[in-house]
Amino acid sequence: MKISYSWLKELVPTRLSSRAMANALNESAFDTELTADPNVFEVKLPPNRVCDASGHLGFAKEVSRIAGKPIAYPDASFRASRARAQNHIGVKVDAKNLCRRYTAAYIENVSVGKSPAWMQKRLTECGVRPINAVVDITNYVMLEYGQPLHAFDADKLAQDKQGKAAIIVRRAHKGERITTLEDKSYELAGFELLICDAKDALAVAGIKGGRKAEIDRRTKRIIVESANFDPISVRQTSRALGIRTDASVRFENDLDPNLTEAALRRVCNLVESICSGSAAKGFVDVYPVKMKPIELIVSLEQASRLIGVQISAKTAEAAFALFCDSVKKQKSGTYVLTVNTMRRDIARAEDVVEEIARFIGYDAIPEQTVSEPVRPARIDERMEEKWLFQDIAVKLGFDEVMNYSLIEENDKQAFGIAPDSFVRVTVPVSGKYTYLRPGLLAGLLKNVRDNNRYFPSMKLFEIGRVYRKHERPDERMKTIVPEERSQLGLVLYGAKTDDKARREQFLDLKGYLEAMFKAIGISESEWRFETIIGDERWNGYEPSEFARIVVSGIQVGMIGNIAFWLYHDGYGVDMPVSFCEIEMDALYALRAKKYYDPLPRFPDALRDISVLVNPDSTASEIESIIQNAGSRFLYKAELFDVFVGSMPPSAGRKSMSFHLRFRSSERTLTEGEINKDMDLIEQALKQDEKAAARIR
């Protein structure tokens, strides 16, 4: 909102420079900025101060407090002709709950010329375009008092039976149209409040005037409206029609109905002096329920307790005087304050405390701690969990990225969930980011694509929330509820496109994951990577190159190489991407305390074994045959080589080689003990059809 510095100086004679005044206003009243025009402030009024401070007079009260000088109020007197307003205007308010007060003046013999230069200058400073003297006066008084006003040409209104210009305040009819002053036509839905004559709409109440009763050069008799409209109704209509005006902004923030009369008097004064009009005696005033000032009971003790410093009676009383109609001090020491109805922001004792705090200045309040006992901070597990995984990922050399929680239409292909499981934003940002992400893959693929130009390989991770609709089968009906989980996504990128390199990248990622499991205390025997044969739901992974990650029997995520069609065709990435997603809450719950495992006192015995296996056999199957062979001292079997023959005579053959470690906690193992275990293992392998064959 634009406020004129020179206007303020006229109302409060002060030597404060514009910069000094802006600083002081900032510190104790409103967010005030200097603009390119040294005479104009840009002020951000809080919504609950629009009523009292959007007019220069009300705003000047803050300046008066700062400068310590009283306000020089403008003259609002006028002569009044013999005519009586009520003989010329009839006002009927149909929508009583939307129009709290309707005050109207009737002025004759108006000559509509240009407004004086000083007025035009002020209007322009405040961002209002001068039009003609009458319209300019209504706008000027709005800027002065904060009360929006509107003038109608009385001769353009339909007359009622008594020959009076009839004003009806009612809701629109469905489908009714109004043409505004800018010649724009609007079709109305029916909830909008209108100012009408007996036939047509004259104005959208509190928002915009209509064409019909427009003031022009030939206008002689005018009706000036000074009304008070329901803020919610004005806001709804303003939004629905897409019209925002200086008037609507004020009404939306709830103005004081007691203000209409004073503003109207000032209009009459100015129309008399500028347009040589003669205002009729008395205003027509429909004001069924008078807004009365509220009374608040405030104690110095309460104010001191909230501010944290002892407030003296003198300070408090000086602050009260700025917004109260009357202040009574009771015997108990508490005050009964009658708050001026213009101060819509003061409705409770805490609001009074703010006035005192502003009065003494926030920066004058000392810094002070409290008397309460100290106790250790408790940290939400979800934070500990996030920090833990972040730290591990970084230790493993991954870089943390953050992506939007919202995704675009095109990103839906990166997720294997039903189309109706996506949570949708009803009005998306720039029409683009429509859905909440159900996983992290889409964002990470974009990151890979964008970084590809600069980095041939990368290791990225993201921790973030993912969302979807979840159908909860309740007793009879199904309930859709939001589901929000924390996921960890890891991406490896940089392998060549051939099968071997791509699969090695998978194992690389798998290795990082295993390191992560170990880091949170999960022992090797507890995790499994389960082959998924033919995922019927989604084909976003390379066939056979993905697995379910199971820890202690619970699925905690998926790992896999992303399918070519997705990373390449979908996201424009050139080379294979290995990706895994982990359900963080599930995995975090499985973490285990770590205990020291005594160092082995006797050396391991190491043997290697190579097994020619059935081509379909997996490493974990062969390993479990070895593990379950009944060996007494076998402690670990580690696969170190897989050979798949491509040329005769070994074409179609597959062999696996394992390092076998034997260990005893009691002694160094003898050759015989180891050989006995080896025999058991060899036998088990020979008997099992998965291994089926030769052992070297």
Q: Give yes or no for residue 401 binding other proteins (CB under 8 A).
A: yes
From the list 6-14, 187-195, 403-411, 591-599, the region that binds other proteins by CB under 8 A is 403-411
Q: What is the dihedral of CA 280, 283, 284, 288, to 10 degrees?
A: -170
DSSP 566-598: IIIIIT---S-EEEEEEEHHHHHHT-----PPP
Nearer to other proteins, 376 or 598 (CB): 376
Give the C-alpha separation, 514 to 522, whole Å.
9
From the list 1-9, 168-176, 457-465, 621-629, the region that binds other proteins by CB under 8 A is 457-465
Give the C-alpha separation, 193 to 268, whole Å.
26
Instruction: Say if residue 507 is exposed, middle or buried (CB neighbours under 10 Å; 0-12, 13-18, 19+).
Output: exposed
Token look-up 């030597």 returns 15
Strand ordering across the sheet containing 541-551: 399-400, 458-473, 478-493, 577-583, 554-562, 541-551, 527-531
Q: Give yes or no for residue 399 binding other proteins (CB under 8 A).
A: yes
Q: Are 580 and 587 in contact (CB under 8 A)?
A: no
From the list 105-113, 143-151, 212-220, 232-240, the region that binds other proteins by CB under 8 A is 232-240
Nearer to other proteins, 480 or 501 (CB): 480
Enumerate residues 436-455 that contact other proteins by CB under 8 A: 436, 443-444, 446-447, 450-451, 454-455
CB of 62 to other proteins, least distance (A): 10
Q: Give yes or no for residue 162 binding other proteins (CB under 8 A).
A: no
CB of 464 to other proteins, least distance (A): 8
Enumerate residues 22-41 that contact other proteins by CB under 8 A: 26-31
CB of 394 to other proteins, least distance (A): 4
CB of 512 to other proteins, least distance (A): 11
Enumerate residues 412-431 that contact other proteins by CB under 8 A: 423-430
CB of 584 to other proteins, least distance (A): 12
Q: Give yes or no for residue 400 binding other proteins (CB under 8 A).
A: yes
CB of 421 to other proteins, least distance (A): 11
> Strand (E) positions, 236-358?
278-279, 284-286, 295-298, 324-329, 335-339
From the list 212-220, 293-301, 313-321, 382-390, the region that binds other proteins by CB under 8 A is 382-390
Cis amide linkage into residue 649, ω under 30° from 0: yes
Enumerate residues 353-372 that contact other proteins by CB under 8 A: 353-354, 357-358, 362-363, 365-372
Q: Are 665 and 602 in contact (CB under 8 A)?
A: yes
Q: Are 111 and 275 in contact (CB under 8 A)?
A: yes
Q: Give yes or no for residue 459 binding other proteins (CB under 8 A).
A: yes
Q: How many binding residues for other proteins (CB under 8 A)?
A: 101
Enumerate residues 464-523 that contact other proteins by CB under 8 A: 465, 467, 469-470, 472, 474, 477, 479-485
Q: Give yes or no for residue 122 binding other proteins (CB under 8 A).
A: no
Residue 222 belongs to what H/E stretch? Answer: strand 222-229
The angle formed by the CA atoms of residues 183, 187 and 191, to the nearest 5 degrees, is 125
> Strand (E) positions, 95-181?
99-108, 150-153, 165-171, 177-179
CB of 224 to other proteins, least distance (A): 28
Q: Give yes or no for residue 394 binding other proteins (CB under 8 A).
A: yes
Beta bridge partners of 588: none
Instruction: Say if residue 117 is exposed, middle or buried (CB neighbours under 10 Å; 0-12, 13-18, 19+).
Output: exposed
Task: List the one residue out of 145, 64, 16 whose CA is nearest residue 6.
Answer: 16
Contact pattern for other proteins over residues 627 through 666, marking x by CB under 8 A: ----------------------------------------
Q: Give yes or no for residue 243 binding other proteins (CB under 8 A).
A: no
Residue 558 belongs to what H/E stretch? Answer: strand 554-562
Enumerate residues 247-276 that contact other proteins by CB under 8 A: 252-253
CB of 127 to other proteins, least distance (A): 20
Among 263, 458, 609, 612, indicate the residue that binds other proteins (CB under 8 A).
458
Cβ neighbours around 550 below 10 Å, total: 15
Enumerate residues 306-325 that contact other proteins by CB under 8 A: 306-309
Among 124, 245, 405, 421, indicate the residue that binds other proteins (CB under 8 A).
405
Find how far residue 368's CA is from the centre of its chain. Answer: 33
Q: Are 359 and 456 in contact (CB under 8 A)?
A: no
From the list 11-19, 46-54, 184-192, 521-529, the region that binds other proteins by CB under 8 A is 46-54
Nearer to other proteins, 27 or 608 (CB): 27
